[in-house]
Chains A and B, each alone.
Chain A
């Protein structure tokens, strides 16, 4: 073609005919192009002469293509360039409950994170994409195991005993995250690579449309879709990682331990020492490798845009044999039919996950196993060194720590989990009334978990499982299976009506929703390794081999938006929810909300200001509900059938038993009231923007498990509506475009959250003697010791401990505590409430920098003021005089304390676990076009969990429960990523 270059210029307008700044305009197939300036105009230099396609794109708007012809030496002025909002894929336009809204019209506390801002690196679970990215959203992964679950909290949660998990809605389908046998995290069945955006609804005015499931916030996940008019394109990505433990639990080595035992142990303890020096933790962990490969095809066949993707993840855990293999596929079809009157949105996602859980009991064992013993000693227990009884019989000592490597290699613990999640959404513009749409959404979520566990009969861990059949004794091992199916169905329909009326614009929706959840939990016999039945499968009263708990939610909802001149915005929502969890009299809950925003930017005096590019004041109030307690039938008088291990012998026969279950006929909704005030701001032509929100939330009629008056019901505690909780908080986000130019771009974002939760009422009476309800899990060591408490006037899960007394050398004095009530003795009346697991503030900090083809991004996260009970350290005492034939390795802290008895309740073990974590650091290089300009190549190198700065003495300060008891280490991961598009 003709040689030579020319220029292209033009101005991009929005639907209202106003210039659009920041639109990316490029000459397709080249690197030529840039962003439009503040009035929407652009000019591209050095364009080779000849025919080209101009591509204009802007987040939240449909990408436009325009054919142009460039003549050498001339400027080609292109006119009529208009971008229209993309109503199915809106980034700048925000996804909200049952619809989308322009960000500027939002009146609630809503934050959206999309692909560009996602955390990078090896991301296995969708929630990790936004870890540290959203003010008020805290995500704590439970462990470093592949596919481990997370605790997700928006504004710290609104409940005490009911679920504090937010509602997760994937492409319009509220999903059930109550857990599935065979996986520790049902969300891990969604491939994060398919996700386009994650929107977090935080306040009641934005969540109340989800009524009874909205108290703890809502997370809306939108997956990637094809675009109208897209050319066929293929994207291939491959990420390959290596992970290793960032640190190990600091325990004594062989010679140190020998010195301790020889120093203060008695003869029987010394006799348990060996000559080896085994670092058990290094025996069980490895450098793990992961490969994550994804292909997606995007395009448009006629009027049917599509996206088809496939993913394969093979992730090794740090723990030997632990891995996860995931195969995922997703298909999205988004045609617009009938002259644009019918929009169809079809999403189908399928996944297949094979888990190998390995023997996770080895993690705790490795920290406690005697380091002076060798791994192997040719024992009858598969050759592994095991702790034997002291009577010389050669029998196992059941109190002994089992060989960590034996626990791994003598256990096959696998599962296969499948999930199919799909919906079809039809949105039809009704012909008889302008502005009226009908929307129908049908969805299904099918999940299936299957697993088997096998332990050979010679393994020490299950050696004594034993049964007699016809006088013959069978013994040892485990050969069990489990299975669960879930079928959740959704049917939703609503009518939406948009109308301009004078200076205002109405947007109304009214709808109905039906969602059913059905489980099938299959029962199996408990078997020995050789298949001998130890306990027969439960006999169920439905004569089936499964229990099938079900629940149903039926809802009616409506919303009205009124927008006056883009200045005054009013929103009101209402939802009525019926839950099968409650009796007919209490079944329905009504959840209203109202909010208003004054978009000051829309006022004449600011309209043309570039210094103040956005200013909006928001106020909202709403009521939301909660019904998610473990029991699906809490109001029914039921009788629970016993398992075959809890029978009772009458005469010569073993009888199953029927137990009357506790119930509360009058149980009803928990209600949360939220006030929210927020300010959205943008300065300096949008270079500085963000939001500040303050809120107050009060939950009443808490679904709370409380002690009941003895004899009043059929257990000593009952989940009923008692108590109240208050949560006040502030959160802020700040984004800065430090540099915005063709070559150099740098954005920073920061967010912070601080809130205080206080229990304001806990029971129906106010006895000043009442210390509160012990709560939380039992700590390791002893049986059933708990160190957390819920008390009126305090943060939930405050630690309840003795105040340690220290010697002049600064070391804690064993068993010496402050007599806080001064009654002359130290007893349980001297326990006090000291700190809690809840941080006083959380921060996220991110940076995205690109210079030419290179980019650098990082995410930092920090919690301040969160305390953790270091249960690993509190077990570090040497039981002088011990005679049970067991010695366990000690945390190095023992060298400081020298404790010889357990001091579990000392505040010495409640540690400040404030931290700063380098979540992710990614270096990228975009090679641009390769292979004759037909493909685009990007390489990245990411490091995750690079460092953690903390004073916390344990392995990892981030412990959601507040009880650190040998967590599966979160690895440090280095990932090399390759992305090719063509």
Chain B
């Protein structure tokens, strides 16, 4: 009966059983994508991936969105959840649970990717006895896992800078990974993305939702465009090179801007979306992701039905800085259709952080389809989060050109920007001329085109406007806004990990 002490669960697989079967391997890959969308193995909550913070609140996209948006001039979130107010004010410290949630999600995803890459080496694939077609498939899965790992490392690079570092060569246990400096991490991500290029599917040939070469190129473009922030180098030419690869890959702008953010964006806007995070009202439920982005933005006198949801959460609004980027937006008569503000009962100024009616609401994301049909479930939207889309690449191309990169042209850049503006205005009345094309315009245009899509913090830092010289309500904890130390351009390493891993060092200023 001592043999009985060897117990294994009948309803779960152990590592070996998983990787023997290519169909199972694909389910592990699906899980790597899902990390961005769900918070555990039971939707909307249950069997959580990480603990120590509310499951839904800590969802990857929700935290990514908060870190990139409510710490900027684009959004404010007034709930009294823990140290959330500090997030709005750029006064967080290393004990902030939201900082920790973002950090933990990022490294959780990297751990899962490492495990996948570890279990799918060529040597192991040989042992499993795959057919050559199966080997090819799994090789491609592995490249996608490496893409997702590079994506999360990129988030770590952008938000935390100097972080722990481990790849598939690390063993699962309790060992403490070494610290990597920001510049070195830049090099690693660059080399990874280049190394997997050949194994990834050609642009627009993979199943929708899975990463292809264009996704890797877009990420490389971002990496290069921001290289000055990451390691003080100048890679604008490289940015143009990789942007061009995407721009020539057959993506097209979807004619209707609003459709990019609706329940059926995976079909009606698929031609523009390079890499989405996918949600579904029945099958992919979470209290983070689009559930949060759409519900939190609805409050006041807004009609939940118009958004295809069962009710608003009265949380996120915008600041006047964003509104003022659009001509006449404050009066609700902007010719720019991207100015999607809800103003009834809302004030432009924010006097009180928690009050939903202080600040205009945003109506960009919806759980209704392009034909105004509600999504499959009013609580959990079907809308996908467009993490990478063509418009972003067009703007990056233009920026790299203006910043002096070679391999592109001002004319082309102008054309890309005007294409976006024509879509926004419905005609050419909003077009700009070559004389208008400068960095300020590009930052503003990025605000107008990409607001609330999770780019703003990175953009403001790249343009040198995040910590000083440009302010917005409640920045620095002051209602009219105040400068904060330059070190706020990086989040702190959470105290939990500094304690757990003495190899790490706190970022300057914390």
Chain A residues proximal to chain B, CB less than 8 Å: 268, 389-391, 393, 395-399, 463-468, 514, 516, 534-535, 540-542, 544, 546-552, 554, 578-580, 584, 587, 632-633, 636-652, 654-661, 663-666, 705-718, 720, 763-765, 767, 769-771, 773-774, 778, 781-785, 825, 827-829, 879, 881-884, 901-902, 904
B17, closest chain A residue (CB): A639
CB of B208 closer than 8 Å to a CB of A: yes
18 pairs, CB–CB < 8 Å, chain A vs chain B: A398-B310, A466-B379, A579-B5, A580-B6, A641-B27, A643-B46, A646-B284, A655-B26, A657-B27, A659-B31, A659-B41, A664-B173, A709-B497, A710-B107, A711-B114, A882-B355, A883-B355, A904-B80
List residues of chain B with CB within 8 A of the CB of A883.
299-301, 314, 345, 355-357
In contact, A516 and B111 (Cβ under 8 angstroms) = no
* Cα A338 to Cα B411 with chains together (Å): 108
List residues of chain A with CB within 8 A of the CB of B114.
711
List residues of chain A with CB within 8 A of the CB of B2.
554, 578
Nearest-neighbour CB distance to chain A for B368, whole angstroms, equals 13
Nearest-neighbour CB distance to chain B for A228, whole angstroms, equals 35
In contact, B304 and A391 (Cβ under 8 angstroms) = yes
List residues of chain A with CB within 8 A of the CB of B440.
none
List residues of chain B with CB within 8 A of the CB of A389.
303-305, 311
Candidates A584, A638, A650; contact of B14 at CB < 8 Å: A638
List residues of chain A with CB within 8 A of the CB of B176.
709, 712
In contact, B95 and A828 (Cβ under 8 angstroms) = yes
Candidates B7, B175, B300; contact of A709 at CB < 8 Å: B175
In contact, A763 and B499 (Cβ under 8 angstroms) = yes
Interface residues of B in 341-389 (CB under 8 A from A): 345, 352, 354-358, 376-379
In contact, A712 and B57 (Cβ under 8 angstroms) = no
In contact, A771 and B95 (Cβ under 8 angstroms) = yes
* Cα A660 to Cα B47 with chains together (Å): 12
In contact, A395 and B304 (Cβ under 8 angstroms) = yes
In contact, A552 and B376 (Cβ under 8 angstroms) = no
In contact, A648 and B356 (Cβ under 8 angstroms) = no
CB of B246 closer than 8 Å to a CB of A: no
In contact, A710 and B103 (Cβ under 8 angstroms) = yes
Interface residues of B in 254-286 (CB under 8 A from A): 266, 278, 280-286
The 9 closest A-B pairs by CB, nearest first: A784-B54, A398-B311, A645-B43, A651-B207, A657-B31, A710-B107, A709-B501, A391-B303, A884-B314
* Cα A465 to Cα B65 with chains together (Å): 27
Counting chain A CB atoms within 10 Å of each CB, which of B172, B304, B352, B499 scores highest? Answer: B499
* Cα A781 to Cα B104 with chains together (Å): 24
* Cα A61 to Cα B163 with chains together (Å): 72
A654, closest chain B residue (CB): B283
CB of B9 closer than 8 Å to a CB of A: yes
In contact, B80 and A782 (Cβ under 8 angstroms) = yes
In contact, A640 and B111 (Cβ under 8 angstroms) = no
In contact, A645 and B283 (Cβ under 8 angstroms) = yes
In contact, A638 and B13 (Cβ under 8 angstroms) = yes
CB of B158 closer than 8 Å to a CB of A: no
Q: Work out how many contacts link A and B, with CB atoms closer than 8 A.
A: 375
List residues of chain A with CB within 8 A of the CB of B183.
none
In contact, A391 and B305 (Cβ under 8 angstroms) = yes
List residues of chain B with CB within 8 A of the CB of A468.
282, 376
* Cα A550 to Cα B79 with chains together (Å): 43
In contact, B499 and A767 (Cβ under 8 angstroms) = yes
Q: Given A548-B11, A580-B6, does the pair A396, B174 have CB atoms closer than 8 Å?
A: no
List residues of chain A with CB within 8 A of the CB of B357.
881, 883
In contact, A711 and B107 (Cβ under 8 angstroms) = yes
Candidates A467, A549, A642, A902; contact of B376 at CB < 8 Å: A467
Nearest-neighbour CB distance to chain B for A220, whole angstroms, equals 25
In contact, A650 and B7 (Cβ under 8 angstroms) = no
In contact, B5 and A580 (Cβ under 8 angstroms) = yes
CB of B123 closer than 8 Å to a CB of A: no
Candidates B57, B207, B282; contact of A467 at CB < 8 Å: B282
CB of B496 closer than 8 Å to a CB of A: yes
In contact, A542 and B310 (Cβ under 8 angstroms) = no
Candidates A651, A652, A767, A784; contact of B57 at CB < 8 Å: A784
In contact, B310 and A395 (Cβ under 8 angstroms) = yes
Nearest-neighbour CB distance to chain B for A639, whole angstroms, equals 5
* Cα A812 to Cα B311 with chains together (Å): 34
Nearest-neighbour CB distance to chain B for A375, whole angstroms, equals 22
Nearest-neighbour CB distance to chain B for A758, whole angstroms, equals 19
List residues of chain A with CB within 8 A of the CB of B188.
none
Can you add 19 more A-B contacts, CB < 8 Å, to A389-B304, A710-B500? A390-B301, A395-B310, A398-B379, A464-B377, A466-B379, A467-B377, A638-B15, A643-B42, A645-B44, A645-B284, A647-B283, A705-B51, A708-B500, A709-B175, A712-B111, A712-B166, A713-B174, A714-B172, A771-B95
Which one of B81-89, B191-199, B213-221, B448-456 contacts A? B81-89
List residues of chain A with CB within 8 A of the CB of B285.
645-646
Nearest-neighbour CB distance to chain A for B479, whole angstroms, equals 15
B31, closest chain A residue (CB): A657
CB of B40 closer than 8 Å to a CB of A: yes
CB of B24 closer than 8 Å to a CB of A: yes
* Cα A717 to Cα B1 with chains together (Å): 34
List residues of chain A with CB within 8 A of the CB of B53.
784
* Cα A535 to Cα B281 with chains together (Å): 11
* Cα A302 to Cα B208 with chains together (Å): 81
List residues of chain A with CB within 8 A of the CB of B299.
883-884
List residues of chain B with CB within 8 A of the CB of A463.
310
Nearest-neighbour CB distance to chain B for A42, whole angstroms, equals 54
B50, closest chain A residue (CB): A716
List residues of chain B with CB within 8 A of the CB of A770.
495-496, 498-499
List residues of chain A with CB within 8 A of the CB of B175.
709, 712
Nearest-neighbour CB distance to chain A for B188, whole angstroms, equals 13
* Cα A904 to Cα B81 with chains together (Å): 9
Candidates B9, B37, B54; contact of A778 at CB < 8 Å: B54
* Cα A395 to Cα B30 with chains together (Å): 36
List residues of chain A with CB within 8 A of the CB of B358.
881
* Cα A906 to Cα B402 with chains together (Å): 52
Counting chain A CB atoms within 10 Å of each CB, which of B34, B43, B496 scores highest? Answer: B496
List residues of chain A with CB within 8 A of the CB of B379.
398, 464-466
B279, closest chain A residue (CB): A649
* Cα A643 to Cα B41 with chains together (Å): 6
CB of B93 closer than 8 Å to a CB of A: yes
List residues of chain B with CB within 8 A of the CB of A717.
50-52
In contact, B8 and A636 (Cβ under 8 angstroms) = yes
CB of B165 closer than 8 Å to a CB of A: yes
List residues of chain B with CB within 8 A of the CB of A397.
311
* Cα A659 to Cα B2 with chains together (Å): 31
List residues of chain A with CB within 8 A of the CB of B304.
389, 391, 393, 395, 398
CB of B312 closer than 8 Å to a CB of A: yes
List residues of chain A with CB within 8 A of the CB of B354.
879, 881, 901
CB of B49 closer than 8 Å to a CB of A: yes
B46-69 near A? 1/0 per residue, CB < 8 Å: 110111111011100000000000
* Cα A654 to Cα B376 with chains together (Å): 14
In contact, B96 and A552 (Cβ under 8 angstroms) = no
Interface residues of B in 157-209 (CB under 8 A from A): 163-166, 170, 172-177, 207-209
In contact, A580 and B7 (Cβ under 8 angstroms) = yes
A659, closest chain B residue (CB): B31
Nearest-neighbour CB distance to chain A for B280, whole angstroms, equals 6
B315, closest chain A residue (CB): A884
B297-335 near A? 1/0 per residue, CB < 8 Å: 001111111000011111000000000000000000000
In contact, B37 and A648 (Cβ under 8 angstroms) = yes
In contact, B11 and A827 (Cβ under 8 angstroms) = no
* Cα A720 to Cα B95 with chains together (Å): 23
List residues of chain B with CB within 8 A of the CB of A645.
42-44, 282-285
In contact, B93 and A829 (Cβ under 8 angstroms) = yes
CB of B10 closer than 8 Å to a CB of A: yes
Counting chain A CB atoms within 10 Å of each CB, which of B107, B111, B164, B301 scores highest? Answer: B111
Candidates A633, A769, A902; contact of B495 at CB < 8 Å: A769
List residues of chain A with CB within 8 A of the CB of B95.
771, 828-829
Counting chain B CB atoms within 10 Å of each CB, which of A580, A649, A651 scores highest? Answer: A649
